[in-house]
């Protein structure tokens, strides 16, 4: 739905307004299709008396209003574009909204400090405009330098993904959705008879070489074998693979490679009730990873107990891993590793 970002200088009434929006949203929640609200997002119905009239006439079970999301974007201060306050990170939150609601202080109150010493709406508006102007200039510079590098590569017949860019430059050109910027896996489709020693196949060698030159991945499969496997009953599949001299289906490798290429990682939760694989982005911290299960886990995160997959298996159980001292206690800065088995401690 439409997102409106609430911004403004400190002490102008942003939180007060945002909290009112959230309370209003909660009050409407009964006839509302949304239930999860992120801490800084409030969803409200667009008031429209016609909705109920139509709903009554049609004897509808439910009337669903149009909605708007209000996003509280605190942290815009003088110098934000230079990295003051929360800096660039939160400017990117502003980029994601469809419209900006700038709260401007027009009330006098000697008990509430004005960041610039006096109530001055015109100056407040100017300060924020200027920060956004600086941020846009930075963005434009990053885009320009990225485009120049990319153009050079493209004119040379090379894909955009072969260009080394800073994170900032990369973000600045994301919206272009360049075809040659997308990560690529070459799927070398070999003959049934070549599957067992595919790495020795000259064609595959050629693809491997090109893939490495083009910063791309390679996975070898026999599409025909995969198709034939689907025709076989489960219990005969392994036998068939063995007869071809391979241990497993190539489809699994392909799926894992695709997953890995997108920068995705897996961690596990494992207990008596269930064992589950969770998808996270590479580099996520323990609280962020916990947030994938439920946002309350992230908010109330205290610590995580974690054991690497191999250690868990070697120990035989979580309890045994704990006894052997393989279960580590990690804090909020811990970067979750591929295959970690996690147990989260959190406040509710």
Q: Least CB distance from residue 6 to ligand GDP, whole Å? A: 9
Rounded CA-CA distance 161/178 in Å is 9
Contact segment (CB under 6 A) with ligand GDP among 7-15, 91-99, 230-238, 257-265 equals: 7-15
Given the complex with ligand GDP, which of 71 and 207 has the nearer CB atom? 71
Rounded CA-CA distance 76/131 in Å is 8
**93 is a site residue for ligand GDP (CB under 6 A):** no
Task: Kindly state the tokens that stand for 56.
Answer: 């009554």
**75 is a site residue for ligand GDP (CB under 6 A):** no
Q: Least CB distance from residue 72 to ligand GDP, whole Å? A: 8
Q: Which residues on adjacent β-strands are paired with residue 5?
A: 71, 100
Asked whether 301 and 344 are in contact (CB, 8 A), the reply is: yes
Residue with tokens 């009953």: 233
Is residue 16 annotated as involved in ligand binding?
A: yes
Strand locations in 8-94 (E) = 41-45, 67-72
Q: Least CB distance from residue 40 to ligand GDP, whole Å? A: 12
Interface with ligand GDP (CB under 6 A), residue from 53, 112, 137, 232: 112
Burial label for 46, CB within 10 Å (0-12, 13-18, 19+), is: exposed
Rounded CA-CA distance 81/79 in Å is 5
Rounded CA-CA distance 87/80 in Å is 5
Q: Least CB distance from residue 129 to ligand GDP, whole Å? A: 17
Sign of torsion, CA 295 299 300 306?
A: positive
**92 is a site residue for ligand GDP (CB under 6 A):** no
**42 is a site residue for ligand GDP (CB under 6 A):** no
Write the CB contacts of 179 (distance below 8 Å, at least 6 apart in sequence). none
Contact segment (CB under 6 A) with ligand GDP among 10-18, 35-43, 132-140, 289-297 equals: 10-18
**250 is a site residue for ligand GDP (CB under 6 A):** no
Number of Cβ within a 10 Å radius of residue 1: 10
Is residue 49 annotated as involved in ligand binding?
A: no
Specify the DSSP class assigned to residue 335: B
Provide the angle, in degrees to the nearest 10, between the axes of the packed helices 234-243 and 223-231.
Answer: 150
The number of residues that bind ligand GDP (CB under 6 A) is: 11
**12 is a site residue for ligand GDP (CB under 6 A):** yes
**329 is a site residue for ligand GDP (CB under 6 A):** no
Task: Kindly state the tokens that stand for 85.
Answer: 């306050």
Residues within window 15-34 making contact with ligand GDP, judged by CB under 6 A: 15-16
Is residue 15 annotated as involved in ligand binding?
A: yes
Given the complex with ligand GDP, which of 48 and 109 has the nearer CB atom? 109
Q: Regarding beta strands 185-189 and 99-102, do their DSSP bridges make them parallel or antiparallel, or are they unpaired?
A: unpaired
Contact segment (CB under 6 A) with ligand GDP among 9-17, 170-178, 182-190, 267-275 equals: 9-17
**85 is a site residue for ligand GDP (CB under 6 A):** no
Contact segment (CB under 6 A) with ligand GDP among 39-47, 105-113, 158-166, 177-185 equals: 105-113
Is residue 56 annotated as involved in ligand binding?
A: no
For the chain, the first-to-last Cα distance in angstroms comes to 29
Strand locations in 205-254 (E) = 217-221
**13 is a site residue for ligand GDP (CB under 6 A):** yes
Given the complex with ligand GDP, which of 16 and 60 has the nearer CB atom? 16
**118 is a site residue for ligand GDP (CB under 6 A):** no
Specify the DSSP class assigned to residue 185: E
Q: Least CB distance from residue 123 to ligand GDP, whole Å? A: 16
The footprint of ligand GDP (CB under 6 A) covers: 8, 10-16, 107, 109, 112
> Which residues line the annotated binding site for ATP?
11-16, 190
């Amino acid at each position: 739905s439409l997102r409106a970002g609430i911004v403004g200088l400190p002490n102008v009434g942003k939180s007060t307004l945002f909290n009112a929006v959230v309370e209003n949203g909660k009050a409407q929640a009964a006839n509302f299709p949304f239930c999860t609200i992120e801490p800084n997002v409030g969803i409200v119905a667009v008031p429209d008396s016609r909705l109920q009239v139509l709903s009554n006439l049609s004897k509808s079970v439910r009337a669903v209003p149009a909605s708007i999301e209000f996003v509280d974007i605190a942290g815009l201060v003088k110098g934000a574009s230079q990295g003051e306050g929360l800096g660039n990170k939160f400017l990117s939150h502003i980029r994601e909204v469809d419209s900006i609601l700038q709260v401007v202080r027009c009330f006098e109150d000697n008990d509430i400090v004005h960041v610039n010493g006096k109530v001055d709406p015109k100056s407040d508006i100017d300060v924020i405009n200027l920060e956004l102007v600086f941020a846009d200039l930075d963005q434009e510079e990053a885009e320009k330098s990225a485009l120049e590098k990319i153009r050079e590569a493209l004119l040379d017949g090379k894909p955009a993904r072969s260009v080394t860019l800073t994170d900032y430059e990369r973000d600045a050109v994301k919206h272009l959705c360049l075809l040659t910027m997308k990560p690529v896996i070459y799927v070398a489709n070999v003959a049934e008879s070549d599957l067992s020693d595919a790495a020795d196949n000259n064609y595959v060698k050629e693809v491997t070489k090109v893939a490495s030159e083009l910063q791309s991945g390679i996975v070898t499969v026999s599409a025909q074998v995969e198709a034939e496997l689907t025709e076989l009953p489960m219990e005969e599949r392994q036998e068939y693979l063995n007869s071809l001299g391979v241990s497993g289906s190539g489809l699994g490798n392909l799926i894992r490679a695709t997953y890995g290429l997108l920068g995705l990682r897996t961690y596990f939760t494992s207990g008596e009730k269930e064992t589950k694989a969770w998808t996270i982005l590479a580099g996520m911290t323990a609280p962020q990873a916990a947030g994938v299960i439920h946002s309350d886990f992230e908010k109330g995160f205290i610590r995580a107990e974690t054991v690497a997959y191999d250690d868990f298996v070697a120990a035989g159980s979580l309890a045994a891993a704990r006894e052997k001292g393989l279960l580590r206690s990690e804090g909020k800065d811990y970067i979750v590793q591929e295959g970690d088995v996690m147990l989260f401690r959190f406040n509710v």
